[in-house]
Structure 1
Amino acid sequence: MKSRSYILIVPLILLCFARVGLAEEAKPAENLSRLEETAVANNPEVKSSEARWQMFRSRVAQAGTFDDPMLMLKIQNGLITDPLNFSKDSMTQKVVGISQQIPYFGKRKLREEVAAKEAESYRWLVEERKLELRRMVAETYYQIYFADRSLEIVKRNIRILDDFITLAETKYSVGQGAQQDVFKAQVERSKMLDMQISLEQQRKSLQATLNALLFRPSETPVGRIADFDLPAPPPAPAALRQTALENRPLLKSLQATVEKGEAGHKLAKKEFYPDFNVSFEYMQRDRTAMGPSPDMYSLGVTFNLPVHRERREAMAAESSSESNMALSELNTTKNQIDSGIADLLAQLERRRKLVDLYKNGIIPQAEQSLESATIGYRVNKVDFLTLLDSRVTLFNYEKEYYDSMADYQMKLAQLEALVGKPLR
């Protein structure tokens, strides 16, 4: 009866595991492109950068306009003895005047250019932030991929160690093995459980990081990360450098800052020339006892005298230093991009070679070694320590394989952020 019960129970257990496996497979896989677009659309730092750009863009129209005209209303030459009598003296006048400040020729256009270049630099910083955000999402995505595959390997090794424990206990029970072999296997299983706990915690932390980038609740579940094949190798270094010069937002932002400094220097030179104030006044006079008093007008131009040259020379020096500083930062960034491309290409080549070596050479050989050691241990031709060593070797190489796969994609995401254009 017991054997019949086991015969009925075992298929039920297998069916339950099959249903669990199907349920896990049924979960939709996460899509990296969709995650990146969600992050760009929702991330508050991007929205903050966009608001800053809009703020500076609104300053462009302000910089290019005239100051408001001034309206003047006054009583001129009124009599102290009779202040509200406008017909007692022919020189008493009611005056209406208007004046307008006019900057020296070219100043308004240069002010507008300075504001426009500053706004442009912030616009490209928005694109740079989006590029950086996509990189961070991609890196977290592939870190989750590596954590998931490591968990799968750990769980599979726990099942293998369960088989080893059963095998060691069976051999010990018939006097063909040592009890120490059982203890060794149990210790190794405990190590795997410890690693499983750490990986599960790491997975939760990475999930929270990804959710923070996407600006959604930290407990939002992140689905399965699908397997993938490595994409084609990236272009040659010269082509990548040209791509960076044409597409990297940070370079465009720094170039706009250089141009802003140049326009500011031209504007500072214009400060050595005067601004003008044009005014017109209409003076109305009442009839007096002496007869009619014709109305009068006044038309005039005033201008400042730019005699304080020290202040204006300091303004020119400041704008020149700003332009030189931005140009130096631009050249430094280009140099960093150049060295970064070389470094990332070398790391990508290394990871690609390791993936091919692990997939087509080392892992199949390690699997054969483990299988051979298992068979040898069953017939007492291999000791238990050799069996465990074969299992650990295969475990480490499988982890290294998935680590190389994930790291290749993360380095590729860094290269895309470096040159400012997708390469996948």
Structure 2
Amino acid sequence: MRLLPHVTRWILYGFTTILLTYSWSPAQAADEDTLFSQTERITATQLVEAVLTRNPDLSSTHAAWKASQARILQASALDDPMLSYTTAPGTAGTTGLDFGQRIEISQKIPWPGKLHLRSEVAKHEADAAYEDIDSLRLKLAAATKSVFADWHYIHEAIRINHINTNLLQEFRRIAQVRYSAGLVSKQDALRADVELTMLNHQAIILERQRRETMTRINALLNRAPDQKLPLPSTLHAPAKLPEVRVLREWALETRPELKALAAHLRAVGARTDLARRDYYPDIKLTGGYNSLWNRHAKRFSVGISINLPLGQGKRRASVDEFRAEKQRVEWDKTGAMNKIESQVQIDYDRVEESIHTLSLFRKQLLPLAKDNMETARSDYQSGNGDFLTLISAEKNLIQTELELEQARADYHKRLAELEQAVGGSLAWKERQSDDINAQRSNL
């Protein structure tokens, strides 16, 4: 009855594994089209959650970590016992003699501490593999937020193109009315036709870019390239950044790459201790029965044997190897810390620049472009301006609106890069920091 819970657990485990394998097979994931069927608009956070749930690279890395976990028990287990059997065929059926046979069982037992150290090595390597999962999650989150910014930009660009196409059609009607009244030449209407043709061509380019961005998102989601996606929600406005010094400290505390190197460092330390244990012999216990002995008292035997660690040179070399390996990992960790701090500083400055650029377009350049457009339009309708000035003002407005949306997308892309460099969402880290400070103040 004691086996029943274990058997039940393994049956459930096997059933769950089969179910997950069937449910998330690549072929079925590619055909699935119900992921966002009830969603009209999607946020960057929702898209990141979907990618982290479905991305095959993350599933592969998670499987590698599970494999490394399974090595822990293997490393701490004793070798299989050895059973040997020997017989003397000539004694079979011989009168007055016992049938000659020898049975022996032996078990190799490593020097005390070796199995524990082997288990420690495997455990630390599994810890490092787990940090690879977090590192990939950061990369996928940053890539998803970046492509979501492109998804938002392309829809805004299509919207701007549509609005300006309608605006140019209105300008063309005004030009035709003024031409019919003999106030302007036919050239104004022809210029409007040229600009409309260019906008129609730009609409085709934008549609191609929209499909490309959709394909990139579907690749992250492990879906077919042409699966439909919801429209993007509005991107949030820029927020004040924490001090860059604080961000560098967060990065050094939370980046999974540093945690993985720390785990590798612990593994190398355990390997070094294990190499030192090789100076001591392993033990083999034996027990057997040998009927070839005539006296019964001699037939049963027990014994012990050890290997003789005479090759001290190779053992010293092994210890020296892992000492040097430990130094290499330590230097790798130091170099990684320097690179992370530098990357945080670079990404921080880029985000600050993007905030300034976005503010410049939103508060100054776009209002000026709109005022210029309205002035040119009013002047042309009243006969005080020419059509070329109106078209130039309209093109300048289009360009300014597009550059504003590009600046908005660039800000969110650079913010995603900064969050990857820091090791997670800045908003989440600020909440964590506030909670820690609150706990300290209550002590």
For structure 1, the 5+ residue unaligned runs are 1-25
Residue identity opposite 1:239 in structure 2? V
Among 404, 407, 413, the alignment partner of 2:407 is 404
* Distance in 2 of aligned mates of 1:262 and 1:403: 50
- Residue 48 of structure 2 aligns with which residue? 36
Among 361, 372, 392, the alignment partner of 2:395 is 392
TM-score normalized with structure 2 length: 0.82
By how many angstroms is 1:118 displaced? 0.9
By how many angstroms is 1:356 displaced? 2.0
Q: 1:247–1:419: 8 Å Cα contact kept in structure 2?
A: yes
Residue identity opposite 1:201 in structure 2? R
Indicate whether 1:228 and 2:228 are aligned.
no
Aligned residues: 390
Q: 1:260–1:323: 8 Å Cα contact kept in structure 2?
A: no
* Distance in 2 of aligned mates of 1:378 and 1:241: 58
* Distance in 2 of aligned mates of 1:320 and 1:187: 73
Tell me the SS of whatever aligns to 2:385. coil
- Residue 95 of structure 1 aligns with which residue? 102
Matches within 5 A, 1:105-144: 105-144=112-151
Tell me the SS of whatever aligns to 2:301. strand
By how many angstroms is 1:163 displaced? 1.6
Indicate whether 1:152 and 2:159 are aligned.
yes
* Distance in 2 of aligned mates of 1:133 and 1:301: 56
Indicate whether 1:64 and 2:72 are aligned.
no
RMSD after superposition: 2.3
Residue identity opposite 2:46 in structure 1? R
Indicate whether 1:351 and 2:354 are aligned.
yes
Q: 2:91–2:100: 8 Å Cα contact kept in structure 1?
A: no
Indicate whether 1:191 and 2:198 are aligned.
yes
By how many angstroms is 1:206 displaced? 0.6
Matches within 5 A, 1:231-250: 231-250=238-257
For structure 2, the 5+ residue unaligned runs are 1-37, 428-443
Question: Taking structure 1 as reference, are residues 27 and 101 closer, same or farther at Cα in structure 2, changes over 3 Å only?
Answer: closer
Q: 2:110–2:282: 8 Å Cα contact kept in structure 1?
A: yes
Q: 1:135–1:413: 8 Å Cα contact kept in structure 2?
A: yes
Residue identity opposite 1:374 in structure 2? R
Question: Taking structure 1 as reference, are residues 343 and 420 closer, same or farther at Cα in structure 2, changes over 3 Å only?
Answer: same
By how many angstroms is 1:151 displaced? 0.9
- Residue 423 of structure 1 aligns with which residue? 426
**Larger radius of gyration between Structure 1 and Structure 2:** 1
* Superposed CA offset, 1:27-86 (max 9, x none): 7211322222221111111111111111111000010111111123334xx5x8x42257
* Distance in 2 of aligned mates of 1:135 and 1:228: 15
Among 341, 361, 366, the alignment partner of 2:364 is 361
Indicate whether 1:165 and 2:172 are aligned.
yes
* Distance in 1 of aligned mates of 2:163 and 2:363: 21
Identity %: 29
By how many angstroms is 1:371 displaced? 0.5
* Distance in 1 of aligned mates of 2:166 and 2:274: 76
* Distance in 2 of aligned mates of 1:318 and 1:183: 80
- Residue 335 of structure 1 aligns with which residue? 338
Question: Taking structure 1 as reference, are residues 302 and 167 closer, same or farther at Cα in structure 2, changes over 3 Å only?
Answer: same
* Distance in 1 of aligned mates of 2:296 and 2:41: 93
Point out the more displaced range, 405-414 or 197-206.
Answer: 405-414
* Distance in 1 of aligned mates of 2:340 and 2:237: 24
Question: Taking structure 1 as reference, are residues 188 and 324 closer, same or farther at Cα in structure 2, changes over 3 Å only?
Answer: farther
* Superposed CA offset, 1:117-153 (max 9, x none): 1111111101211221111111111111001101111
By how many angstroms is 1:175 displaced? 2.6
Tell me the SS of whatever aligns to 1:306. coil
TM-score normalized with structure 1 length: 0.85
Q: 2:117–2:273: 8 Å Cα contact kept in structure 1?
A: yes
* Distance in 2 of aligned mates of 1:192 and 1:412: 32
Q: 1:285–1:293: 8 Å Cα contact kept in structure 2?
A: no
